[in-house]
Copies of this chain bind each other. A is one copy, B any other.
Amino acid sequence: MKSKILIQLDSDNQPSVFDGVVAVDAGVDQLFRHGGVRPADVRNLVYGAIFTRGVKDLRHTAIFVGGADVSAGDKLMKEVLSTFFGPLRVSVMVDSNGANTTAAAAVLSAAQHVPLEGSKSVVLGGTGPVGQRAARLLARAGSHVRVGSRSKDRAAAICQSISNQVPGATLDSWSTAGTDDTAAAVEATDIVICAGTTGVELLPNSLRLAASQLKVAIDLNAVPPLGIGGIEVMDKGCERDGVIGYGAIGVGGTKMEIHKSVVVKLFEAADQIFDAEQIYEVGQLLVQK
């Protein structure tokens, strides 16, 4: 039986310890940790993955793309995929800055309480890496998604980009520059996911209480002041003034389970690609158990 080798391609100078520990706990035998990886480095590293073991054994090698910079990670991912050819490929997961697993865990948490199909949702901080992915996952599940941002233009660009990827999606861009704007963006929604910058309150408690239809409020900010007033960082599906609340650490446990499960799955076949959607699907299976 071949050792399970995970090749960690990280855009940061020091490769993530977080991703390394999760990989080890997911049963990886040998971790090849590469920091400071640039797109030009990728081809050769991937050749080393696909030319060393027979096609039959390629499922025992896999690639993880990470690093704090989500767009740098996406560039590395693109290079990885373009290097594969025919059966010469290994499974690969991309989770730069934990954005994919976090977005999947957040949407999955919402789905425990509200059927997403036909729901109304709003993502505050919807143009950041986690926000974009959460909006995309919600749209794909059939939710009518409002993308909130201080800049309505940037929100509109994200809506357009997601619409291109998800045919039939219903998305609207909302400004959340001021209090009135934010109140309007949240009004008449079932779900709010707050994926804004660390330490900024995007939805004060008063606005949250005013949003009369709101059923689930999910805040992904772990550093006070938190992103949604009245939701605590440890909340995990508890009731807060008639709303089901999730805080960053509450979602974090699910995120970690999803991350670990995807790493386990990487070694089940050699032809898998785990980006936001596939990671979300793994999360769905986990939750059903």
Mark A residues whose CB is within 8 Å of B. Answer: 2-3, 5, 7, 12-22, 24-25, 29-34, 36-37, 41, 44-49, 51-53, 61, 68, 252, 256
Contact = CB atoms under 8 A, between A and B. Distances in A.
Given A2-B25, A25-B53, A30-B31, A36 B18 contact: no
10 residue pairs, one from A and one from B, having the closest CB atoms: A17-B48, A18-B48, A21-B52, A17-B45, A14-B41, A24-B30, A3-B24, A20-B32, A14-B34, A18-B52
By secondary structure, the A interface counts as: mixed
A242 to B, nearest CB: 31
Given A25-B2, A41-B13, A20 B33 contact: no
A5 B37 CA distance: 23
Contacts of A17: 7, 32, 44-49, 52
Given A13-B41, A33-B32, A36-B13, A21 B61 contact: yes
B36 A20 contact: no
Contact of A37 (B14, B44, B53): B14
A14 B34 CA distance: 7
B19 A256 contact: no
A48 B61 contact: no
Among A2, A7, A14, max chain B CB count under 10 A is at A14
A9 to B, nearest CB: 9
A20 to B, nearest CB: 5
Among A31, A45, A47, A256, max chain B CB count under 10 A is at A45
Contacts of A5: 20-21, 24
Among A47, A52, A256, max chain B CB count under 10 A is at A52
A3 B29 CA distance: 10
A41 B12 CA distance: 10
Nearest to A256: B52
Given A25-B3, A31-B30, A45 B14 contact: yes
A230 to B, nearest CB: 24
Contact of A16 (B48, B68, B252): B48
